[in-house]
Structure formats: structure tokens, C-alpha cells
């Protein structure tokens, strides 16, 4: 509110001094006229000053002209607590708590763009209420390896799913007058060696796999800002990379917004000046000049005084500076100087309901079987079946909104799984910790003494003997080297001795429900011995109630996996070529699996996943009819439709995600067996049937040609697959493309 008043006062002063409002302050004028007018009033020094940070999370405006600064906040799962002006220490405010929304892996697992819109609207309201102009998110990087510490911040392994989920998030967020800053552009698929690793990747893999989510955010979502990544791409750092920023983002895609560096992701003044970076953030030392600590000033940034001197000497283009300043002004007019934007709100109750709704739709029932023939599956939990329910696991009580790096949140409240189970089932619930995760520390993780490990395990196993049902809440957490920024996982296994604990629990009591809290796939030894497994993700403030909603059956699970669960790490394409494929040789990492990421690798190489992309069960069952095709041939300017009837033939209302994949039956170059090209989430009452229709367009048949630097398709036969997952195909139809595209 106070910044809106300041802006209005500046407008009033300008009107009184000049008898009319300057064009740049007149919101009735087109933005481009306002940008041109403001730019013409600015000095060289004022333009340069806008191109770098003034504090940890703000960049300057033009005080002389009444143009305010830009204020930023980490996201994308909630608005980060306030940070001090010049250090990473917390500002110790008492009014900067937030709602923690589910991690983006959970959002992707909903397979529901309506949930993405709901998410963007709610988090945008809180960001606007906190007077933020830019929210640093959402993330659009592709899940390449299950070891990546930041996978939980992204939307899975498939570019189509990522694209369809990111667009409504961006659109609804920005309706609050808060810019989405889509990150981390691009090819930031590991945290290990992230600062300098050089990603070697084919042009085709970039365009088909790693860039579509960003392109959709820009061209369909209208994103107002993009954040560069730390890594290098084909030899040049991503935050000042001519190929990705100038030629692709601003050139081919027509991006009119601002490129923001990741914090301390800028390394060179000339490259930053000419290769597409607009605002440099986070630089707090210059090793090349021996400046660090308290001696470092804002103007010591690469785009500070050094940039100004290059401009004055005519060594870099002033046109490039004017382009940067124009983009920054455009963003300020869209956000900080937009007096028509809503006020936002911090309605914890309403936003907690949003978080719980999204979390409920995103939880994935991986398997659910009875322990004996003739019995009902363990889930949903019917209290009349169980007298004693034992909850086991560190994650049942851990505060999981803390940690994880820049996504750490200061939440208004956070309800644990144990608390929610006690609220639902009362004195039936008992608890044994079972394992201890230790404390998070940068650079290392605290070891737990073996005597403590043995004691906790023995206590849990003893209690399990007397229980009628065990709910094991395990998985990962946000400690370093798990799901956390700046450190990849060190193993595909479950940490902290959970595999051994699970084996001992199952040996004394087979009635075990495993609740996996994580943003990544994990290796599950002997999964057939575990009757029920739920992938619950990091759900935020409402983790406990959301888990219990699904375990109890109050919510029928309908989530689908946004990435594959390999049986073992070597089954993942990124790990099939030795260390050069991940994490690299210390200088570079080579994406030798090329376009075969995730299920594309499993399908094409005939390597079954433990749980495939798109997999997710329900407490009801769905029957698919036979798919029908509108025609057998497609022309270059035509479309086809595929229709299929889906029936809920169970006893509970539920939701099903119907998935469309398309494969090129015969191609002159490598293509995956099939690729996701459509999905619809439908709600069905028991016995209800609905017809689902997909439209197949020519673009769905294309691949990226490096020879012509364009999208094209070869004539010939294609197959449309309709199913409940990438491997659970319920029907397929063939058609022919008559002419090349």
C-alpha cells in the first residue's frame, strides 16, 4: 500500500510541476509509449544503475523521475521471509510468515491445469500483499536424473506436461501485478558442480525436451521475466549466453520481458553487456578485483561501474543498454507502477484450503494390495478394521517446510502427519520414530550414533508386533544432499537406514503402508513385499491433513507420476553412459541420452520402470472403451480427433487422467516409441461414463530438424495411444500423414 501511495504522489507532483502528467506516468497511454518517454529522460548513469542489484532482493529504479525500484522474493512454493538489505541473514520480522503450497512436483502430479491456475492465483495474492514485484518461479527445468537436489521445484520429466501446467500458473500469478520469473533458464538439471559445469547437448534435445516449458511460459503464459541458470551451455554461462538469451529467447520467441541472473550467476562484464542479461543479482564479490565483504558496493557488480566505463569508451553498444533499460521500465510499469493491480491478501485459511486441495489431487497411490487372499487392500484405512495403528518415521513429525535452500519458507502453520493421524483416529494411534535424519548442515550432514539408530529401530519393531496396521512415513527430506539446493543426492537409496527398518517391520508385521515424502524417485527394495505405497510429495503447510485425507479415503487419490521411477539408477538414461553423463568430468557433462529422457528412454530401450511415467491408482477402477479416429489420413493443414469412452466401474467417485501419446511408426532418424501429446482429467461418479475427445494437430507429429533449424514431420504412418499411464495403454489407432510438414 505504501508504495502505491508513493507512486500516486509522484504522479501528482509531476502534474503540478508540469501542468500535465508526463507520458511515462500516464497509465492511459500504451506501455511502449511510456517506456520510450521514460527512456528519453534518463541519463546513461541511471540506465546502468537499473541493470544491477541495490540489495539482496531489490534493484534500483530512477528516484529523480519517481520510478520505483523492483522488489523480488524467492518462490515458487510460497513467499520467502524477509532478508536483510546487505546480507543473507533473516530480517527477523514478525509479520512475514506465509502459506507453504505444495512443491511443484506435486502440482505436476495433479495433471490438472485448473490446479495450476488456483496455485498461481493464491501464491500471487500473498506475493502482492507482501509488496513483491517479482516472484522467483515457477521452475521449468526437466527432471533428467533422480539425484538432482532441486527436482522437487520442477514439473517433471516431460516437456508437454511441463508446458501445460506452467502456463496457467504464470497467467494467474501475473494477474496480481506480480511478475513470474521462470527459472532456471536453461539446462540446469543438476546441483552438483552447478556453478561451472558445461552442458553439452544437441540442438534437437534442447528444442524438443529442455526448452518447451520455457517457451510455453513466454509465448502462451506471457511471462514478464526469466531467470538465468548457473551452469554453462555449450561453453558460455547461461546468465549471459548469446544463443539461449539473444537468439532463442528474445529473438525466436519474441520475449519482451527481463532476464534476471541467478544470484551470483554473472561472471563477465562484456558478455553480460551484450549477451542478453538485463538485471544482475546476487553478485557480492569480485575475485578478479580482490573485492569482497564490506568493501563490495553495488556499483562493483559486473554491470556497474565497469559497464559504465565500457559504454563511455564506446567499447560496447549503447543500443544494448537501451534495450535493457526499456525492458526493465516495461516490467516496472507492469508491476511496481501499476496502480490498477489488486491489493492481494494473506488469507491463511483460504490459502491453506488451496494447498490442501492441490495436495490431495497430486498424491499418487503407487500400489495397494491386501496382505492375504480374500482380504480388502490396506487402503483406505477403515478404523473399524484396526484397533491399533502405529505411525513410524522421522518424517511423521519433521517440519518439512524448512530447509531445501532458497525454497525454505517461514510458515504461518505446519501440521504434521502424526498430529493429523491423531486428530482423525484418536487413541488408536501410537508413534515410534524408527529412524533419525540428523541435522542439515552446508557441506555435511550430522551423523547419528549407531547406538541411537539401533535403539530407535528396536523400539519401532517391538511396537510393530502389537500393531494392527503400520503407517511408515519416510522418504527424503530437505537436508543437504537430499531434496535441497546446491547439493545433489549421493545415493538413489532411501537414506538413514530406512530400507533396513522397513525390512524388519515387514518381517514382524506385513500390514505396512509406506508414505513416501520426497520430490524425487527412490530405490525401493522388494516393493512387492510392501502392500501399499503412497507418493505424498512435500505438500507444505497442510502436509498432515492432506496425507490423512488420502489414507482415510476422504479424498480418492487421483495423482499420476510426473516422472518415472527406475528400478535402479543405471536404468535412467542420464546414468547409462558413466560419469560423463552425470555428473560430468569436472568440466563438462554430456547429455548422451539425447532426446530419450525419462519414459522415452525406458520405452525405446525396453528397460521397464518400477513405476512408469503417468502411473497412479485409485480406490475405484476405470474401464476404457475402444478409441475411435475421425479419419485415417491427415493433411498438412488438417486435424484428427480421437474419442474414447471411460467408465467408473467401481463403488467410489473418482478422477482419472486419460493420456494421449503419439508415435511415429517409421522414421529416418531416431524418435521415441511414443510421446505425450494430450491429457484430460475427468471426474466420474460410480457407474458413470464420459466420452473423452483429443484433437491431433500437425504440430504434434513434428520433430526438430537440426539440418533446417525448424520443426518438421515426415509422411507415413503414426499411432495414437490412449491409456492410464505411459505403459498402461488401453487402446490405439493408426493414421497416416499424407505429405511432409
Q: What is the pLDDT of residues 455-502, one digit of tens each?
A: 999 999 999 999 999 999 999 999 989 999 999 999 999 999 999 999
Domain containing 637 equals 620-737
What pLDDT, on the 0 to 100 scale, is given for residue 407? 87
* pLDDT surpasses 70 at 445: no
Please state the φ and ψ torsions of residue 252, each to the nearest 5 degrees: -65, -40
Average pLDDT over residues 561-579: 97
Q: What is the pLDDT of residues 365-402, one digit of tens each?
A: 999 999 888 899 999 999 999 999 999 999 999 999 98
Please state the φ and ψ torsions of residue 566, each to the nearest 5 degrees: -65, 150
> SS3 breakdown of the chain: % helix, strand, coil, rounded to 5?
35, 20, 45
Total structural domains within the chain: 3
Decide which of 280, 306, 334 is a domain's last residue. Answer: 334
* pLDDT surpasses 60 at 8: no
What is the Cα–Cα distance from 34 to 218, expressed in whole angstroms?
Answer: 22
What pLDDT, on the 0 to 100 scale, is given for residue 15? 44
Q: How far from 3 is each of 13, 50, 130, 420, CA to CA, in Å?
A: 15, 18, 11, 41
What is the Cα–Cα distance from 473 to 394, expressed in whole angstroms?
Answer: 7
Decide which of 334, 366, 399 is a domain's last residue. Answer: 334
Grid cell at residue 468:
494392527
- 686 with 712, same domain? yes
Beta strands in 9-129 (DSSP E): 58-59, 70-74
Find the CATH number of the domain harbouring 300: 3.20.20.300
Sequence-distant (≥ 6) Cβ neighbours of residue 575 within 8 angstroms: 145, 569, 581, 582
What pLDDT, on the 0 to 100 scale, is given for residue 64? 97
* Residue 698 covered by a domain: yes
Q: How confident is the model at residue 741 (pLDDT cuts 50, 70, 90)?
A: confident
- 299 with 381, same domain? no
Q: What is the pLDDT of residues 648-667, one digit of tens each?
A: 999 999 999 999 999 999 99
- 184 with 281, same domain? yes
Grid cell at residue 293:
565483504
What pLDDT, on the 0 to 100 scale, is given for residue 404? 87
Q: Which residue, 65, 73, 75, is CA-closest to 41?
A: 65
Q: What is the pLDDT of residues 87-111, one digit of tens each?
A: 999 999 999 999 999 999 999 999 9
Cβ proximity of 478 and 440 under 8 Å: yes
* Residue 443 covered by a domain: yes
Q: How confident is the model at residue 282 (pLDDT cuts 50, 70, 90)?
A: very high
- 322 with 398, same domain? no
- 279 with 144, same domain? yes
- 329 with 353, same domain? no
Q: What is the pLDDT of residues 23-63, one digit of tens each?
A: 999 999 999 999 999 999 999 999 999 999 999 999 999 99
Cβ proximity of 701 and 666 under 8 Å: no
What pLDDT, on the 0 to 100 scale, is given for residue 688? 98
Find the CATH number of the domain harbouring 653: 2.60.40.10
Beta-strand pair 710-712/716-723: unpaired
* pLDDT surpasses 50 at 14: no
Average pLDDT over residues 120-132: 98
Decide which of 564, 582, 598 is a domain's last residue. Answer: 564
* Residue 635 covered by a domain: yes
- 240 with 387, same domain? no
Q: How confident is the model at residue 636 (pLDDT cuts 50, 70, 90)?
A: confident
Q: What is the pLDDT of residues 312-358, one digit of tens each?
A: 999 999 999 999 999 999 999 999 999 999 999 999 999 999 999 99
Average pLDDT over residues 262-290: 97
Sheet strand arrangement including 198-200:
236-237, 232-233, 198-200, 588-590
Average pLDDT over residues 298-304: 97
What pLDDT, on the 0 to 100 scale, is given for residue 101? 97
* pLDDT surpasses 70 at 420: yes
The verdict on whether 198 is a catalytic residue reads no
* Residue 27 covered by a domain: no
Grid cell at residue 451:
547406538
What is the Cα–Cα distance from 4 to 343, expressed in whole angstroms?
Answer: 10
Q: How confident is the model at residue 276 (pLDDT cuts 50, 70, 90)?
A: very high
Ramachandran region, residue 598 (left: φ > 0; alpha: ψ -120 to 50; beta: rest): left
- Poorest-pLDDT segment among 303-312, 449-458, 571-580: 449-458
Q: What is the pLDDT of residues 506-548, one digit of tens each?
A: 999 999 999 999 999 999 988 999 999 999 999 999 999 999 9
What is the Cα–Cα distance from 433 to 397, expressed in whole angstroms?
Answer: 9
Whole-model pTM: value is: 0.96
Q: How confident is the model at residue 5 (pLDDT cuts 50, 70, 90)?
A: low
3-state DSSP call for residue 6? helix
* Residue 290 covered by a domain: yes
- 172 with 271, same domain? yes
- 359 with 315, same domain? no
Work out the percent of the chain whose per-residue pLDDT is above 90.
92
Cβ proximity of 140 and 214 under 8 Å: yes
Q: How confident is the model at residue 448 (pLDDT cuts 50, 70, 90)?
A: confident
- 557 with 686, same domain? no
Average pLDDT over residues 557-564: 98
* Residue 87 covered by a domain: no
- 546 with 638, same domain? no
* Residue 413 covered by a domain: yes
- 60 with 114, same domain? yes
What is the Cα–Cα distance from 397 to 392, expressed in whole angstroms?
Answer: 10
What pLDDT, on the 0 to 100 scale, is given for residue 16? 45
* Residue 582 covered by a domain: no
What pLDDT, on the 0 to 100 scale, is given for residue 20? 83
What is the Cα–Cα distance from 278 to 261, expressed in whole angstroms?
Answer: 8
Q: How far from 18 is each of 11, 34, 181, 420, CA to CA, in Å?
A: 11, 16, 36, 62
Work out the percent of the chain whose per-residue pLDDT is above 70.
96
What pLDDT, on the 0 to 100 scale, is given for residue 217? 98
What pLDDT, on the 0 to 100 scale, is given for residue 664? 98
Mean pLDDT of the residues in the chain: 95
Identify the active-site residue in 262, 278, 284, 300. Answer: 262
* pLDDT surpasses 50 at 268: yes
Cβ proximity of 543 and 359 under 8 Å: yes
Q: What is the pLDDT of residues 612-626, one digit of tens each?
A: 999 999 999 999 999
Find the CATH number of the domain harbouring 412: 3.40.50.1700
Amino acid at each position: 500500500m505504501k508504495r502505491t501511495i508513493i507512486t500516486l504522489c509522484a504522479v501528482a507532483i509531476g502534474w503540478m510541476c508540469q501542468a500535465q502528467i508526463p507520458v511515462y506516468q500516464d497509465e492511459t497511454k500504451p506501455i511502449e509509449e511510456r517506456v520510450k518517454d521514460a527512456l528519453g529522460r534518463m541519463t546513461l548513469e541511471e540506465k546502468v544503475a537499473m541493470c544491477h542489484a541495490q540489495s539482496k532482493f531489490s534493484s534500483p529504479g530512477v528516484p529523480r523521475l519517481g520510478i520505483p525500484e523492483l522488489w523480488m522474493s524467492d518462490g515458487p512454493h510460497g513467499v520467502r521471509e524477509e532478508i536483510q538489505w546487505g546480507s543473507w541473514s533473516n530480517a527477523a520480522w514478525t509479520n512475514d510468515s506465509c502459506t507453504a503450497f505444495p512443491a511443484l512436483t506435486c502440482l505436476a502430479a495433479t495433471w490438472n491445469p485448473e490446479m495450476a491456475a488456483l496455485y498461481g492465483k493464491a501464491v500471487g495474492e500473498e506475493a502482492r500483499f507482501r509488496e513483491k514485484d517479482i516472484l522467483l518461479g515457477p521452475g521449468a527445468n526437466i527432471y533428467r536424473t533422480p539425484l538432482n537436489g532441486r527436482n522437487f521445484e520442477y514439473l517433471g520429466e516431460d516437456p508437454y506436461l511441463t508446458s501445460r501446467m506452467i502456463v496457467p500458473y504464470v497467467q494467474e500469478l501475473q494477474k496480481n501485478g506480480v511478475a513470474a520469473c521462470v527459472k532456471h533458464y536453461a539446462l540446469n538439471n543438476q546441483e552438483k558442480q552447478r556453478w561451472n559445469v558445461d552442458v553439452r547437448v544437441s540442438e534437437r534435445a534442447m528444442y524438443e525436451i529442455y526448452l518447451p516449458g520455457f517457451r510455453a511460459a513466454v509465448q502462451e503464459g506471457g511471462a514478464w521475466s526469466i531467470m538465468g541458470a548457473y551452469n554453462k551451455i555449450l561453453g558460455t554461462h547461461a546468465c549471459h549466453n548469446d544463443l539461449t538469451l539473444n537468439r532463442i529467447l528474445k529473438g525466436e520467441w519474441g520475449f519482451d520481458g527481463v532476464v534476471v541472473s541467478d544470484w551470483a550467476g554473472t561472471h563477465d562484464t562484456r558478455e553480460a553487456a551484450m549477451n542478453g542479461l538485463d538485471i544482475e543479482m546476487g553478485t557480492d564479490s569480485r575475485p578478479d578485483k580482490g573485492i569482497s565483504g564490506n568493501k563490495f558496493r553495488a556499483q562493483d557488480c559486473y554491470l556497474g561501474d565497469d559497464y559504465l566505463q565500457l559504454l563511455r569508451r564506446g567499447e560496447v553498444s549503447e543500443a544494448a543498454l537501451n534495450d535493457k533499460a526499456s525492458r526493465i521500465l516495461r516490467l516496472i510499469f507492469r508491476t511496481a507502477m501499476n496502480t490498477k493491480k489488486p491489493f492481494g491478501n494473506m488469507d491463511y485459511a483460504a490459502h491453506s484450503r488451496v494447498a490442501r486441495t492441490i495436495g490431495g489431487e497430486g498424491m499418487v497411490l503407487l500400489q495397494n494390495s491386501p496382505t492375504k487372499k480374500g482380504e480388502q487392500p490396506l487402503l483406505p484405512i477403515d478404523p473399524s478394521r484396526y484397533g491399533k495403528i502405529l505411525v513410524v518415521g522421522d518424517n511423521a513429525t519433521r517440519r518439512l517446510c524448512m530447509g531445501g535452500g532458497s525454497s525454505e519458507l517461514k510458515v504461518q502453520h505446519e501440521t504434521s502427519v502424526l498430529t493429523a493421524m491423531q486428530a482423525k483416529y484418536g487413541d488408536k494411534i501410537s508413534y515410534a520414530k524408527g529412524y533419525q535424519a540428523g541435522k542439515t548442515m552446508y557441506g555435511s550432514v550430522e551423523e547419528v550414533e549407531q547406538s541411537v539408530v539401533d535403539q530407535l529401530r528396536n523400539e519401532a519393531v517391538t511396537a510393530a508386533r502389537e500393531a494392527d496396521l503400520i503407517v511408515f512415513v519416510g522418504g527424503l527430506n530437505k537436508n543437504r544432499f537430499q531434496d535441497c539446493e546446491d547439493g545433489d543426492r549421493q545415493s538413489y537409496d532411501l537414506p538413514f537406514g530406512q530400507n533396513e527398518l522397513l525390512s524388519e517391520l515387514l518381517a514382524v508385521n506385513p500390514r505396512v503402508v509406506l508414505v513416501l515424502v520426497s520430490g524425487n524417485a527412490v530405490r525401493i527394495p522388494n516393493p512387492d513385499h510392501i502392500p501399499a505405497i503412497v507418493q505424498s510429495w512435500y505438500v507444505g503447510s497442510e502436509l498432515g491433513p492432506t496425507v490423512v485425507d488420502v489414507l482415510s479415503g476422504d479424498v480418492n487419490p487421483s495423482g499420476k507420476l510426473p516422472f518415472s521411477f527406475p528400478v535402479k539408477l543405471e536404468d535412467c538414461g542420464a546414468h547409462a553412459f558413466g560419469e560423463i553423463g552425470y555428473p560430468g568430468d569436472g568440466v563438462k557433462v554430456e547429455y548422451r541420452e539425447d532426446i530419450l529422457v525419462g519414459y522415452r528412454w525406458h520405452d525405446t530401450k525396453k528397460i521397464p520402470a518400477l513405476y512408469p511415467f503417468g502411473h497412479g491408482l485409485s480406490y475405484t477402477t476405470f474401464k476404457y472403451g475402444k478409441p475411435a479416429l475421425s479419419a485415417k489420413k491427415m493433411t498438412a493443414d488438417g486435424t484428427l480427433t480421437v474419442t474414447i469412452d471411460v467408465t467408473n466401474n467401481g463403488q467410489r467417485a473418482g478422477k482419472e487422467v486419460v493420456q494421449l501419446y503419439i508415435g511415429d511408426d517409421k522414421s529416418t532418424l531416431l524418435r521415441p516409441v511414443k510421446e505425450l501429446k494430450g491429457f484430460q482429467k475427468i471426474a466420474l461418479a460410480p457407474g458413470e461414463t464420459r466420452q473423452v475427445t483429443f484433437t491431433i494437430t500437425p504440430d504434434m507429429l513434428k520433430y526438430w530438424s537440426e539440418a533446417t533449424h525448424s520443426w518438421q514431420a515426415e509422411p507415413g504412418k503414426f499411432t495414437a495411444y490412449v491409456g492410464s499411464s505411459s505403459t498402461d495403454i488401453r487402446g490405439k489407432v493408426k493414421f497416416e500423414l499424407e505429405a511432409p510438414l
